[in-house]
Amino acid sequence: MSASSSAIESVLVENRVFPPPAAFAQAARISGMPAYTALCAEAEADYEGFWARLAREHLDWSRPFSQTLDGSNAPFYQWFADGELNASANCLDRHMGTPVEHKTAIVFEADDGSVTRVSYRELLERVSQFANALKAQGVQKGDRVLIYMPMTIEGVVAMQACARLGATHSVVFGGFSAKAVQERIVDVGAVAVITANYQMRGGKELPLKAIVDEAIAMGGCESIKNVFVYERTASPYAKEAGRDVPFSELLAGQSTDCPPVPVNAEHPLFVLYTSGSTGKPKGVQHSTGGYMLWARQTMRWSFDVQDSDVFWCTADIGWITGHTYVAYGPLAAGATQIVFEGVPTYPNAGRFWQMIERHKCTIFYTAPTAIRSLIKASEADAAVHPNASDLSSLRILGSVGEPINPEAWMWYYKHVGQERCPIVDTFWQTENGGHMITPLPGATPLVPGSCTLPLPGITAAIVDEAGHDLPNGAGGMLVVKRPWPSMIRNIWGDPERFKKSYFPEELGGKTYLAGDGAVRSEDRGYFRITGRIDDVLNVSGHRMGTMEIESALVAKTDLVAEAAVVGRPDDLTGEAICAFVVLKRPVPTGDEAKAIAKELRDWVAKEIGPIAKPKDIRFGENLPKTRSGKIMRRLLRSLAKGETITQDTSTLENPAILDQLANTN
């Protein structure tokens, strides 16, 4: 395939630009574009020296490193490999004897609205006590521990305690099924599970321990010696004698002093599973040194975190965002953060805005899916609209998890940020460890829907299938040309899959393939993510990213609340565009549905061009989402093809809507 025919056509043009407010820029850690350019030039001039400087400045080492990057066994790169440190010590111990010691580390708001505050000193004591308890049960450096917990202080404590001992944790999101838990226990060879009897979400008690029991009963989990149970609620649960230990018993008599265990910089801090496009989930393995450096550094750069900030990342600790921007980054930066147990719509859809007001949150970081669903709720009920809460404490907004469409960006900017808060639209992946491409709030002029420019030291580029650089304006594959400290080190137990997935031979075996399509704008060279490479449609020889068509549909703000676009085989055009649409009104039927579908097709033709008109449009009350809010595009692809759904739908929030979405208009 020639370079030109494999380029992804970019059809979305965005001309709105929002420079950082002058006063904000002046006070920021990276102030104005010249400061950003200077850091990029430093990295360019002496790549290893740049990373070594940051690692010495931002981490406490128990044994300093003398070697920065070892690429002798590429793509299995090593960073700071002869250095030793401890991740938990870099989050907690480093603040003792400083003003941060008695500062609030976590403001925890439970599902029912009750609030608990923990200082850095108290958090260190709780982590140390928990680490001693694990040690007493035989958990040691190099062991793997599976964590299946609600979004509570105890979840963060469990992760930090593992890190303190040099045990590698693998957190599983509390909405995953028993099968998912069993697969991960088996793959990682966990010696223990840390879980809770129940979790509280939206006023409901949901079981966790029962799911762990079911997972272990599936077999293959012989490595498990103990299950440690946080009794979140008073409700009874099944206990297996000799294996299950409640926290009250586990912690009894344990000291609150536990020296951190130094580990090699390359020691695996955690393994976090991400779904592969095919086959079993991939255990993404992250190091301790490189990962911790980037967790702290991006808190300072991307979020410009200051001593007075109250930071809130709404992600669950079961996802990479909850690892880097809940469990590690904010603590390494000495910030105060909010941890929230519940869901954004309980007791009403204004919960996020009410919590920002209640806790005087200054930096708010959430996902486009959450923003879009709250747009819909707030347009239906003024009482839950952001305007009904005092959001004057906010100074920075962030977006994470998927590209944000320009109209949702504008709503977020206008109604939540009141047109004064920069939005950092962060592009990164589980495999990256932290932000890769993102605006800097005090430097980068913002363009809605664009993640703008790579962070200093990140050599992002756009190439065709042969690895040739593409000019600005031509879409292609997003790659990173040089290794960076927080990158994935391996797929746990599967080095061949690691190489094949991320460093394909076609690109020379040393270039990181992100798996996303992207385009750089002709005027500013800004990056915009166009969707997964496997979500690229080829309609009559035109390659189009699904994200662009979704953005066009959502831009019809009087009608459309949310849209997801997939491809299906078509005899005439090779691939046909199939759009699943949630309207801001009840689901239409019959002639009315046909009329609205025609209106939407004409709109897309006007916004992008006739080639992008969806062949099928299907309406539903909602889209099939996992409990974390990710749209299950795989299911949509099956529906579009008219296949019978055979795959597991147990992780879906709302399985009933599949029947709705099967009707074509």
DSSP-derived secondary structure for 84-142? EE-HHHHHTGGGTTSGGGGSEEEEEE-TTS-EEEEEHHHHHHHHHHHHHHHHHTT--TT
- 3-class SS at 613? coil
Q: Are 517 and 477 in contact (CB under 8 A)?
A: yes
Whether omega before 569 lies within 30 degrees of 0, making that bond cis, reads: no
Q: What's the pLDDT score for residue 538?
A: 77
> In the predicted model, what is the mean pLDDT of residues 553-561?
94
Whether omega before 347 lies within 30 degrees of 0, making that bond cis, reads: yes
191 backbone dihedrals φ, ψ, rounded to 5°:
-95, -20
By CB neighbour count within 10 A (0-12 exposed, 13-18 middle, 19+ buried), where does 205 fall? Answer: middle
Report strand pairing: 460-463 vs 192-196: unpaired
Which pair of tokens denotes residue 56?
Answer: 């010495």
Q: What's the pLDDT score for residue 12?
A: 66
Q: At what angle do helices 47-58 and 289-301 cross, to 10 degrees?
A: 80
Q: What's the pLDDT score for residue 594?
A: 96
Q: What's the pLDDT score for residue 569?
A: 87
Q: Which residues are paired to 339 by β-bridges?
A: 108
> In the predicted model, what is the mean pLDDT of residues 537-566?
87
Report strand pairing: 198-201 vs 204-207: antiparallel
Looking at the chain, how many residues does it have? 665
Torsion (CA) 233, 238, 243, 246 in degrees, nearest 10 = 20
Percent of the chain residues topping a pLDDT of 70: 96
Q: What's the pLDDT score for residue 60?
A: 98
State yes or no: pLDDT of 657 exceeds 90.
no
Q: 358 vs 370, which has greater pLDDT?
A: 358
State yes or no: pLDDT of 485 exceeds 50.
yes
**Alpha carbon 303 to chain centroid, angstroms:** 15
State yes or no: pLDDT of 630 exceeds 80.
no
Percent of the chain residues topping a pLDDT of 90: 81
> In the predicted model, what is the mean pLDDT of residues 179-207?
96
> In the predicted model, what is the mean pLDDT of residues 539-562?
87
Residue 403's pLDDT band, with cuts at 50, 70 and 90, is confident
Q: Which helix (H) or strand (E) holds 244?
A: strand 244-246
The whole-chain average pLDDT of the chain stands at 93
**Alpha carbon 541 to chain centroid, angstroms:** 33
> In the predicted model, what is the mean pLDDT of residues 467-483?
95
Q: What's the pLDDT score for residue 384?
A: 96
> Could you tell me which of 636, 612, 634 has the C-alpha nearest to residue 622?
636
Convert the pLDDT of each residue in 253-291 to its tens digit: 999 999 999 999 999 999 999 865 445 779 999 999 999
Q: What's the pLDDT score for residue 286?
A: 98
Sheet holding 560-570, edge to edge: 560-570, 574-583, 616-619
* Residues contacting residue 430 through CB under 8 Å, at least 6 positions apart: 272, 274, 284, 319, 320, 488
Q: What's the pLDDT score for residue 531?
A: 79
Q: What's the pLDDT score for residue 269?
A: 98
Indicate if the alpha-carbon torsion angle 469, 472, 478, 480 is positive or negative.
positive
Q: What's the pLDDT score for residue 290?
A: 98
Give dist(CA 567, CA 540) in Å, integer.
12
- 3-class SS at 259? coil
Convert the pLDDT of each residue in 40-88 to its tens digit: 999 999 999 999 999 999 999 999 999 999 999 999 999 999 999 999 9
Which pair of tokens denotes residue 152?
Answer: 């509570």
State yes or no: pLDDT of 5 exceeds 50.
no
> In the predicted model, what is the mean pLDDT of residues 384-388?
97
Residue 582's pLDDT band, with cuts at 50, 70 and 90, is very high
Inter-CA distances, 110 with 58, 117, 390, 602, Å? 32, 11, 21, 46
345 backbone dihedrals φ, ψ, rounded to 5°:
-110, 5
**Alpha carbon 371 to chain centroid, angstroms:** 15
State yes or no: pLDDT of 650 exceeds 70.
no
Read off the DSSP letter of residue 466: T
> Could you tell me which of 109, 79, 110, 106 has the C-alpha nearest to residue 92?
106
Q: What's the pLDDT score for residue 606?
A: 83
> Could you tell me which of 311, 318, 383, 341 has the C-alpha nearest to residue 115?
341
Which pair of tokens denotes residue 524?
Answer: 């500013």
* Residues contacting residue 539 through CB under 8 Å, at least 6 positions apart: 567, 573, 574, 575, 576, 577, 611, 612
Inter-CA distances, 577 with 93, 304, 535, 620, Å? 54, 41, 11, 17
> In the predicted model, what is the mean pLDDT of residues 398-423?
94
Convert the pLDDT of each residue in 530-539 to its tens digit: 877 877 787 8
Which pair of tokens denotes residue 171?
Answer: 């957190």
State yes or no: pLDDT of 9 exceeds 70.
no
State yes or no: pLDDT of 625 exceeds 90.
no
Asked which of 274-278, 500-504, 576-580, 618-622 is least confident by mean pLDDT, the reply is 274-278
> In the predicted model, what is the mean pLDDT of residues 374-384?
93
